[in-house]
Amino acid sequence: MQLIRSIKKMQTLARELTASGKSIGLVPTMGSLHQGHLSLIDRAKRKTDSVITTIFVNPAQFGRGEDLKNYPLDEKGDLAKIKSIGGQIVFLPRADDIYSDDFQTWVNVENLTNTLEGKARPAHFRGVTTIVAKLFNITRPDLVVFGQKDYQQAVVLKRMTLDLGYPIKFVIAPTVRERDGLAMSSRNRNFSPDQRPEAICLYLALRTAREMIKSRIDNVKTISNEMRAVIRATCAKSKVDYIAFTEFESLKPVRKAKRGVIVSVAASVHGVRLIDNMKL
Ligand code: AMP
């Protein structure tokens, strides 16, 4: 497995791989890898010759008061995990190299970032699209894999890929969950053992939505109210940020919930902000 920290070296290797006819898969991450991340690497491996996993905790996508300083780091553990599933290349750039003192060029997707997470976290997506565009330019992938866990992020990045004309196949991979349904996330380690069982409240709410649709209830308000009740009943120390029913790629809100619609939920659970979603 190759470990690369220099942007120049990464660019050179990417060019060499392409010149020798090898296809490149890219999986951008912020490290603290879990089975969800590994499933993306595995998917990229099955579709390309060389997979580049990037590990970079991107300061530009954290707002004030968000958890940049406390973001969990586990470089050694991450590298062992990537190696264990046969990941070939790991790119770990330094923040100073990515964002020089003079840095002043940003990539911004407009409408899609004004809703859901974009409303709750201003400037978050500008940070995400900028770093991913830079990673595209440095690694020149043929294919990239993102998780549906961060559904809006995937939709925004797909839009950016199309709008900027990157010749990259864009794959959105399903959410990997713990046994009890909790979507895997590096934030889950913030729960104490007592709190952890209650973290499934988002998943239970999403399942409730799915069941209601099956029973032919399609009123978004009725379903949202029931979802809120499920979250409250599962975790008294929770606060729902939003529940939204949207068309998959446009993120347009729908009036009636039906098959193919995505329901997303964001909530603070014992002080930990979680997001999850499900296609109905
Ligand atoms: P992060 O390290 O949180 O920035 O995530 C890196 C990539 O992993 C993103 O494309 C995420 O959507 C994806 N990801 C995070 N959690 C999961 C999960 N539980 N299942 C599948 N993909 C995930």
Q: How many angstroms separate the alpha carbon of residue 48 from the centre of ligand 1?
A: 19
Query: Please, which pLDDT band fits residue 206 given cuts at 50, 70 and 90?
Result: very high
From the CB of 158, is ligand 1 less than 6 Å away? no
Ligand 1: nearest atom to the Cα of 30:
2
Q: Residue 125 in contact with residue 156, Cβ under 8 Å?
A: yes
Model confidence, pTM: 0.97
pLDDT of residue 64: 85
* Reduced 3-state DSSP string for the chain: CEEECCHHHHHHHHHHHHHCCCCEEEEEECCCCCHHHHHHHHHHHHHCCEEEEEECCCHHHCCCCCCCCCCCCCHHHHHHHHHHCCCCEEECCCHHHHCCCCCCCCCCCCHHHCCCHHHHCCCHHHHHHHHHHHHHHHHCCCEEEEEHHHHHHHHHHHHHHHHCCCCCEEEEECCCECCCCCECCHHHHHCCCCCHHHHHHHHHHHHHHHHHHHCCCCEHHHHHHHHHHHHHHHCCCEEEEEEEEECCCCCCECCECCCCCEEEEEEEECCEEEEEEEEC
- Which of 26, 27, 29 to mutate for ligand 1's pocket (most ligand atoms within 8 Å of CB)? 29
Q: Is 164 in the pocket of ligand 1 (CB under 6 A)?
A: no
Q: Which residues of 33-70 are buried (b: 16+ CB within 10 A; e: fewer)?
A: bbebbbbbbbbbbeebebbbbbbbebebbbeeeeeeee
CA angle 125-166-79, nearest 5°? 65
Contacts of 239 (CB under 8 A, 6+ apart): 267, 268
Q: 40 CB under 6 A from ligand 1?
A: yes
Which atom, in ligand 1's list, is nearest to the CA of 40? 22
Q: What is the pLDDT of residues 28-43, one digit of tens each?
A: 999 999 999 999 999 9
Q: What is the pLDDT of residues 257-271, one digit of tens each?
A: 988 999 999 999 999
Rounded to an integer, the average pLDDT of 169-184 is 98
Tell which one of 34, 149, 160 to mutate to probe ligand 1, the residue whose CB is within 8 A of the most ligand atoms.
Answer: 149
Q: In this predicted structure, what is the pLDDT of residue 55? A: 98
pLDDT single digits (tens) 63-86: 988 878 889 899 999 999 999 999
**The dihedral formed by the CA atoms of 254, 259, 264 and 265, expressed in degrees to the nearest 10:** 100
Residue 170 has pLDDT above 80, yes or no: yes
Average pLDDT for residues 97-110, to the nearest whole number? 97
Q: Give the pLDDT mean for 164-180.
A: 98
Tokens at 79, concatenated: 């590298």
Q: Output the residue whose Cα is nearest ligand 1's atom 7.
A: 29
85 pocket-lining for ligand 1 (C-beta < 6 Å): no
- The ligand 1 atom nearest the CA atom of 150: 12
| Per-residue confidence (pLDDT) for residue 66, from 0 to 100 | 83
The residue ranking higher by pLDDT, 159 or 72, is 159
Q: Whose CA is nearest to atom 14 of ligand 1?
A: 147
Res. 13: pLDDT tops 90: yes
Could you confirm whether 34 is annotated as catalytic? no
pLDDT at position 146 is 98
